[in-house]
Amino acid sequence: MSKTYALANQKGGVGKTTTAINLGAYLALSGMRVLLIDIDPQANTTSSLGFDKNDLPLSIYDALINQVPIAKIILLTDLLCLELVPSTPALAGAEVEMVGLLAREHLLRKAIAPVVERYDYVLIDCPPSLGLLTINALTAAADGIIIPVQCEYLALEGLTLLIHTVNLVRDSLNPGLRIRGLLMTMYDTRTNLSQQVVEEVRKHFADKVFDTLIPRNVRLSEAPSYGETILSYDPQSKGGLAYRALAQELIAGDNLKL
């Protein structure tokens, strides 16, 4: 059974893209067939995997607005079993164009429907907003939302709004939408603050928080500049080991066979 998750948080800089590419890489390493969908106009997932976002003939924009079949847009990455639906800056105008389209909240779900069952995991990297692109991602996320949360107090403030949006989408557009898990990112073992934030989130969300903590790690920050995931750049770094553990935790929780 294919699993489709949106990675979303309206706050920027919390690790959505880092999680999308590296979780995807380690799921693929585990033998899972993975499709990454970059629905962020910044196209960071696309460029982080070594593609020039300004020189792509087709992107997710064409699937949403021009109804180009998604199979014609999918790109192979350097990692076996990991494929990408890229984004380009042209997507920035898509929300305005989508307003006048029929069933505009369901465009992404309709676009990916023909290919979803080819994959074990479909991961959708959302923009740092709660606009129509993110709503499309949440509507298409048949199995839930993964929420990266930076280990600082300001990161907690937007969670209430995000969860409210998730509830609205579940009630009106996607009855199966649930919070698959909150992922604590940029965890710094040297500070009490990181531990306090983790404890606060676990107190309020209990078993919805992943056991794996993603550390603040310079190697994670460096890898995208080389167009690589942490798996190929430095798999033995703390960041690499953390994303390996996260992939294993997700697979085990989803009861998928390795």
Confidence of residue 104 (pLDDT cuts 50, 70, 90): very high
Region label for 43, one of left (φ > 0), alpha (ψ between -120 and 50) or beta (otherwise): left
| Close Cβ partners of 151 (under 8 Å, ≥ 6 residues apart) | 184, 185, 186, 187, 188, 193, 194, 197, 198
Domains of the chain by start residue, with CATH = 3-253 (3.40.50.300)
**91 contacts 134 by C-beta, under 8 angstroms:** no
Query: What is the overall mean pLDDT for the chain?
Result: 93
What phi and psi, each to the nearest 5 degrees, are found at residue 232?
Answer: -90, -25
pTM for the model: 0.95
* Structure tokens given for 98: 């989508």
Report how far residue 116's alpha carbon sits from residue 93's, in angstroms, rounded to the nearest whole number: 26
H-helix or E-strand spanning residue 155: helix 153-157
Pairing of strands 34-38, 3-7: unpaired
Predicted local confidence at residue 156, as pLDDT: 75
- Rounded CA-CA distance 250/258 in Å is 11
| CA 134 to mean position of chain CA atoms | 11
Q: Is the pLDDT of residue 116 over 50?
A: yes
Pairing of strands 75-76, 145-150: unpaired
Range 231-237 average pLDDT: 96
Structure confidence at residue 155 (pLDDT): 74
Structure-token pair, residue 203 = 């107190």
Region 36-54: mean pLDDT is 96
Task: Give residue 258's pLDDT.
Answer: 47
Q: What is the pLDDT of residue 191?
A: 86
Average of per-residue pLDDT across 203-229: 94
Average pLDDT for 188-200 = 89
Q: For strands 82-85 and 75-76, give the pairing.
A: antiparallel
Q: What is the mean pLDDT of residues 23-46?
A: 97
